[in-house]
Structure 1
Amino acid sequence: MTFKKILPALALLTLPIITQAETYPAPVEAMRERGVEVLERFDAPSGLTGYTALFNGRPLALYVTEDGKHALIGSLLNAEGEDLTGVVLEEKVSRPQSKIMWGKLKDSTWIADGSDKAEQIVYVFTDPNCPYCKRLWKDARPWVDAGKIQLRHVMVGTLGDSSQKKAAFLLSSKDPEAALMGNESGESPAKEAKTIEDKQRQQLDDNQQLMAMLGVSGTPAILQLDETGMMQMHPGAPQGEQLIELFGPRP
């Protein structure tokens, strides 16, 4: 099983949707009434008309027959057995939404770990009380110190009230980068903020919402762009060869 996996929860993002004034073939309209979100029409072979759509966060394709009376859902194969649907969904659904979500990560509240001139940017959802986050921080040192990656820690408090207060403490520190390093290394653990100010509360709420939007269920969760520009999510703390797969050859 490959360690990388495609970003889930695509339905929570915003893509252009076919104008509501358009009349859909009856099978497509029936699917819309069942909760399928129709996005875009596309040309398909053999007289079929294709529609990209989302259902329960997953991209899918609808193929309507030439008479408009029937629809097929799933992958369309050619005579060589090649999947014609996957390419369409990647280019028309997954890739545009990947770009949107990468922008949302950039705009989120994060603490930098490593050089701004690093070769690769990696976002990590981090809880200050998460032991696996601390292990990731430690294991990533060779790549961070060599300028290969910059980790951008999107701070959340998923492990209870203590995590919320410590995350607020880190975000409100005069030097958040140094405070994060102290906490993750164990040399200077984060304190619990006596009160969470409105600014930090909003930052944490927004980060938590973004975490849910991406379908992330725990920390750490690593997000990065692959060689094709698609965002990939990697749950948990990678080990051994997984680190090399993610960050490249060990410096």
Structure 2
Amino acid sequence: MRKLRTLATALMFIPLFACAVEGDGNTAAVKKSFEQKFPQREVQSVSASPVKGVYEVVLAGRQIVYTDAKVTHLFVGDLIDVQNKKSLTEERMAALSKVNWADLPLELAIKDVRGDGSRKLAVFSDPDCPFCKRLERDSLPGLNNVTIYTFLLPLTELHPDAMNKSKKIWCSKDRLASWTGVMRDGKALTGDGNCDTAALDRIQALGKKLGVTGTPALVFGNGQLVAGAIPREDIDKLLSSK
């Protein structure tokens, strides 16, 4: 039965991908209806999809769902352009995830300038995240002519002591040395974290605004947001992308 439902859902979309549908003026009504039926979800935008009568709803956290004009049915999953063999949902997610580099509060980050520092990379990282440590140990060493900005984003629901460690790093005399010592060399942190740590609260709000729900999360100079401890070769290519 599940396979039949999946197939039926896919077949609904196949004949209708030939052209894009312009806004039909009904998006405001769809948004209002969606908010009435799902008051606990924050609707960021509603727009007509390429499928006649189906609307794209973007929710907080950059989640995309699809619905009909009366919000009687919801579709969750990828909207596929069969003719061009691509996921329209994936493309839309990539566009929504774009970050305006100029809006990043770089003064809240730990700065690491290498070579001429011409290329830019921001990393949201958690001191207790094993994947963040993998990124620091395996992927970031060897990168040159780059400025790396590390934003401390402790995921306290996963790592209860991460905020305490972040405070100690932020309050240390040499934040970069403290950070790399913990992440690459496994050194113990010293100090009590007793300084102004309002920056960490601001980074938490920034992560939420950007839809960063996991670490590590990498933001490149062109605004591309990539999740995970990706290989150094991939980082190097993305650093040079326009």
Place the TM-score, normalised by the shorter chain, in its bin: 0.5 to 0.7
Change beyond 3 A, Cα 1:77–1:63:
farther
**1:121 alignment partner AA:** L
Query: CA separation in 2, counterparts of 1:117 and 1:184?
Result: 22
Query: CA separation in 2, counterparts of 1:84 and 1:63?
Result: 20
**Structure-to-structure mapping, 1:79-90, within 5 angstroms:** 80=83, 85-86=88-89, 90=92
**2:136 alignment partner AA:** W
- Percent identity, aligned pairs only, is 17
Residue 182 of structure 2 aligns with which residue?
A: 183
Gaps of 5+ in 1: 1-21
TM-score (norm 2): 0.59
**2:124 alignment partner AA:** V
**2:57 alignment partner AA:** A
Change beyond 3 A, Cα 1:61–1:176:
same
Superposed displacement of residue 78, structure 1: 6.9
| Contact 1:143–1:247 under 8 Å retained in 2 | no
Change beyond 3 A, Cα 1:42–1:245:
same
Higher RCO (CA 8 Å, separation ≥ 6 residues): 1
| Contact 2:81–2:88 under 8 Å retained in 1 | no
Q: 1:116-140 CA deviation, whole Å, 9 max, x = no partner?
A: 724241413131x555534432223
Superposed displacement of residue 60, structure 1: 3.2
Are 1:52 and 2:56 counterparts? yes
Residue 243 of structure 1 aligns with which residue?
A: 232
Change beyond 3 A, Cα 1:31–1:108:
farther
Residue 95 of structure 1 aligns with which residue?
A: 95
Are 1:205 and 2:209 counterparts? no
Residue 223 of structure 1 aligns with which residue?
A: 218
Number of equivalent positions: 203
| Contact 2:125–2:152 under 8 Å retained in 1 | yes
Residue 39 of structure 1 aligns with which residue?
A: 45
Query: CA separation in 2, counterparts of 1:78 and 1:137?
Result: 38
**2:199 alignment partner AA:** Q
Residue 121 of structure 1 aligns with which residue?
A: 121
Residue 19 of structure 1 aligns with which residue?
A: none
TM-score (norm 1): 0.57
| Contact 2:106–2:149 under 8 Å retained in 1 | no
**2:218 alignment partner AA:** L
Residue 173 of structure 2 aligns with which residue?
A: 174
Superposed displacement of residue 110, structure 1: 1.6
| Contact 1:126–1:153 under 8 Å retained in 2 | no
**1:124 alignment partner AA:** F
Are 1:152 and 2:155 counterparts? no
| Contact 2:111–2:149 under 8 Å retained in 1 | yes
Query: CA separation in 2, counterparts of 1:39 and 1:103?
Result: 23
Q: 1:127-156 CA deviation, whole Å, 9 max, x = no partner?
A: 1x5555344322235433x22x43322124
Query: CA separation in 2, counterparts of 1:233 and 1:131?
Result: 14
Q: 1:39-88 CA deviation, whole Å, 9 max, x = no partner?
A: 2444857xx46643224741234454xxx89888577777837668548x
| Contact 2:44–2:60 under 8 Å retained in 1 | no
Change beyond 3 A, Cα 1:32–1:108:
farther
**1:205 alignment partner AA:** D
Superposed displacement of residue 210, structure 1: 4.0
